[in-house]
Amino acid sequence: MDKFKILSDVWGYNSFRPGQQEIIDHLIKKEKLLAIMPTGAGKSLCYQLPALLFKNQTIVISPLKALMDDQVFALKDLGVKAERVHSGMIESEKNKVWKDFKNKKIKILYISPESLFRDSVLKILKMLRISMFVVDEAHCISKWGSDFRKEYELLRELQEIFPESNISAFTATADEETRKDIINKLTNGKGKIFLYGFNRPNLSLAVQQKTSDWKSQLLEFLIHRKEQPGIIYCLSKKLTEQCAEFLRSKGFNAFPFHAGLENERKIKTQDKFMTEDNVVVCATIAFGMGIDKANVRYIVHISLPSSMEAFYQEIGRAGRDGLESDTLLIFGLQDLFQRKRFIDISDADETFKIKEHKRLDSLIAYCDSAICRRQTLLSYFKEKCDPCGKCDNCLNPPQMIEGTEYAQMVLSAIYRTGQYFGSAYIIDVLRGVESQKVIARGHNQIKTFGVGQTASANFWKTFIRQMVSANYLIINIQRYGALQITSNGERVLRGEDEYFYRRFEFINFTKKKKDNVIDAGIIEDEKELLSALKSKRMELARKKRVPAYIIFPDRTLYQMLLHKPKTLEEMAKLNGIGPQKLDKYGEIFLSVIKNL
């Protein structure tokens, strides 16, 4: 059977996405590879399809139970013989899977690295002459990656234990060093690297300065998104709770999510998020890797992520269905300080810390970039693109304003107080606030005291942060976040250089138009049909206890809106509807369309 036939017979797709075909061809030749493709690019299909072509079975190593469950449910629904074994299953269930696997009743088996390396398991696998081992989320094997997992280290032995089997690895995030590391550990450096674009054209990017009233900022962004699923990333558990509580008070279906919650509650929240379509989760990064919902419409960060990689991965959870989705990062100087402290108090070695600081600095530079955000983001991954035309900077090109005098006020306040204080204190001095601390130290007597009275504390916060990210000031963590003057700063202070800052204001998101793959007008006209289709999908999903998009992703529902199939033949032509889906759900959805 050829790959195109399988693509349409099993998945019901009419074409491969960029990169998929090349990767599949390579695997069919039984050659090793590491593929780096952005989240949502369709990595799973790259190994699942060849697995169906191989004579023997395929093992997929995956780090998270939820991730495995999801993939296996989706495959089974397509009629593929897939299973998984992980610690969340009861013994009898696992035994059944192993029995079926030995009898070759299972084609693709998902397993965690720790279960794989049991002697009994290795014995079975050797006997069965596994065709291919797939390492999904392969960045977990590298200490340089953003998500190192000890169990993944074991995978280095795979090639020795199974010299006859092919090995392939997949991940969405791996910089050059991480890539090398993965390919060395898994294939002795012999595998070929396939690197595909990081550009996600359907995601819009925007950054806002955090004001003291972040709740209003958040609400402004969310006000027209009550009916959409989204994630709000927060740095702390407390913030997730505050955020969810606030949104609930505004009528949102919002829930907190963090590692400290009871398991049962976590599962419940995840379930809700997966099966219902208007849930917003306020989460720490504990929420994410296992979440594979295709129609997340927005991601907001109300705290600064730890690095560009982390940021990329987190926003990557939006718009996996290819439809327009929005991202917003709201951040302030305090976040930066906190992140820097996290790095410094960690027990990593010095070189690692320096690297982490650099990664963070790149993110800050992204935040304060005056050019297209997409260009800035992609350039970090060594990729180029044209100005995107839909990020905040493209829509609203920032104005650079001459701010030498303001900068000198800041620099002088820092200089005259001994380069010993953080921004809150410096702002007090600038604004002439006679706080106890200021008076006790006599800083109400210095020349700079009160010179910046006319500007608000929020203005100064942002102004100072920009000076930090443009490297006129640094934050000295060893001195509890004291602001210190760099050589650039010294030149401005001495009047040898001018200083420009980017004008800041808050963008109005509510006006933004949506140009989805399907015209917003059609969705508006067909509101009733869409909601009928969605509730049918929900009903089926509930019955089968799977996420709604496993039945059909939004994209496929939109196709139904657009083409209104009247017969099964017409239905079969829609992208995303293969024979299995047609069989299971064709009639059901036809009757929904007919009855409206």
Q: Which amino acid is at 108?
A: I
Least Cβ distance, residue 10 to ligand ADP (angstroms):
11
CA 218, distance to chain mean position in Å, is: 19
Least Cβ distance, residue 386 to Zn ion (angstroms):
9
Nearest CB to Zn ion, comparing residues 398 and 450: 398
Least Cβ distance, residue 439 to ligand ADP (angstroms):
57
Least Cβ distance, residue 195 to Mg ion (angstroms):
16
Which residues, 6 or more positions from 100, have their beta carbon under 8 angstroms from its beta carbon? 83, 106
Nearest partner of 304 among 249, 266, 343, 278, judged by Cα:
343
CA 339, distance to chain mean position in Å, is: 18
Q: How far is CA 317 from CA 231, 294, 452, in A?
A: 9, 8, 42
Number of residues that bind ligand ADP (CB under 6 A): 16
Residue 451 partner contact from ligand ADP, Mg ion, Zn ion, none using kind-dependent CB cut-offs of 5 to 8 Å? none
Nearest CB to ligand ADP, comparing residues 23 and 407: 23
| CB distance 275 to 547 below 8 Å | yes
The verdict on 319 binding ligand ADP (CB under 6 A) reads no
Number of residues that bind Mg ion (CB under 5 A): 1
Among 186, 372, 574, 593, binds Zn ion (CB under 5 A): 372
Residue 42 partner contact from Zn ion, ligand ADP, Mg ion, none using kind-dependent CB cut-offs of 5 to 8 Å? ligand ADP
Residue 37 partner contact from Mg ion, Zn ion, ligand ADP, none using kind-dependent CB cut-offs of 5 to 8 Å? ligand ADP
Residue 294 partner contact from Zn ion, ligand ADP, Mg ion, none using kind-dependent CB cut-offs of 5 to 8 Å? ligand ADP
For 428-447, b/e burial (b = at least 16 CB within 10 A) is bbbbebeeeebeebebbebe
Q: Site map for Mg ion, 43-82, x if CB under 5 A? A: x---------------------------------------
Least Cβ distance, residue 48 to Zn ion (angstroms):
34
Least Cβ distance, residue 136 to Mg ion (angstroms):
6
Q: Site map for ligand ADP, 36-55, x if CB under 6 A? A: -x-xxxxxxx----------
Angle between helices 423-431 and 404-416 (to 10 degrees): 110
Across 272-315, the runs of DSSP E, i.e. the strands, are 279-283, 298-301
CA 522, distance to chain mean position in Å, is: 29
Distance CA 44, CA 22 (A): 14
Distance CA 551, CA 556 (A): 10
Nearest CB to ligand ADP, comparing residues 450 and 579: 579
The verdict on 388 binding Zn ion (CB under 5 A) reads yes
DSSP 60: E
**Cβ neighbourhood burial of 505 (10 Å; 0-12, 13-18, 19+):** exposed
Nearest CB to Mg ion, comparing residues 11 and 499: 11
Query: 192-195 and 203-204 as β-strands: parallel, antiparallel, unpaired?
Result: unpaired
Residue at shortest CB range from Mg ion: 43
Stretch that binds ligand ADP, among 32-40, 118-126, 404-412, 498-506 (CB under 6 A): 32-40
Contact set with Zn ion (CB under 5 A) = 372, 374, 388, 391, 394
